[in-house]
Amino acid sequence: MSAVLLDGTKIASEIRAELAGEVKSMTAAGLRPGLAVVLVGNNPASEVYVRGKVKSCEELGVYSEKITPPVASTTEELCQIVERLNRRDEIDGILVQLPLPEHVDAKRVLLTVDPAKDVDGFHPVNVGYLSTQRPGLVPCTPAGVMEILQRSGIAVSGRDAVVVGRSDIVGKPAAMLLLNANATVTVCHSKTHDLSGVCRQADILVAAIGRAGMITRDFVKPGATVLDVGINRVTDRAEFERFFAGDKKRAFAFAQDRVADHDFARSRSSPRRSRPKRKH
């Protein structure tokens, strides 16, 4: 049996087209949706992520607002920002970009978000709604897993599903969504005994772990559906060759990243040159 590729990019485009129509209708009725993103400090990865969200909002016609408090902001100051957003009627969704600076109590800030505006689905109220099969906001990556399965015509009810990863953001909610869809679900992690053997029992295998290349062909039984939703950064040349040997496009991107990392390291380690004093 030849493998069938699940085209997440195509599915995402379909969803965007559907949403654009819905947003247009809402806006025409005077109900334009609005998203506020709180981005603290200058984390490069977070900035890229938020920039993508703002761009998506523009393409769909959603109002977006980016709030950028300084990195020195206290927990109390960030909670006050969130509370103000909670009270604003034109803001329907609030996204507090993680990670927050180490001195900030991230859990307290996230708890301040109105559960009805918690677009990440991190608030305990929304977690409780998910676990008790009540309508609520669901973390985006697990929701994406279910969309891919549904739109690809893959049956979930009655199937054996294995989720590798137990994070609050992806692993646990993905397992709960599959369970709510009547799959028989096993949640695994790095301490699971005979991990490959457990995975080989899966009709649906979801890899949601932070380790590149952990799931290999030995983990997958013939005919199984595999979704890899883990995000891992490969920085070692030998590791890159093991995964992507012969992929010219990825090789070029890898080389560019290595140059950027080298330049960043040099800028961090090089002493600043003082400007020579002008003689009078």
Q: Which positions are catalytic? A: 53, 97, 120
Phi, psi (rounded to 5 degrees) for 188: -115, 170
Cβ contact 142:188 at 8 Å:
no
Phi, psi (rounded to 5 degrees) for 71: -60, -25
Q: Where are the beta strands (DSSP E) in 157-234?
A: 160-164, 184-188, 204-207, 225-228
Q: Is the dihedral of CA 20, 21, 23, 28 positive or negative?
A: positive
Secondary structure letter of residue 235 according to DSSP: -
Distance CA 17, CA 38 (A): 26
Cβ contact 176:145 at 8 Å:
no
- List alpha helices for 29-155, DSSP H: 44-60, 75-87, 106-112, 124-131, 140-151
Partners of 206 in beta bridges: 163, 227
Cβ contact 195:188 at 8 Å:
yes
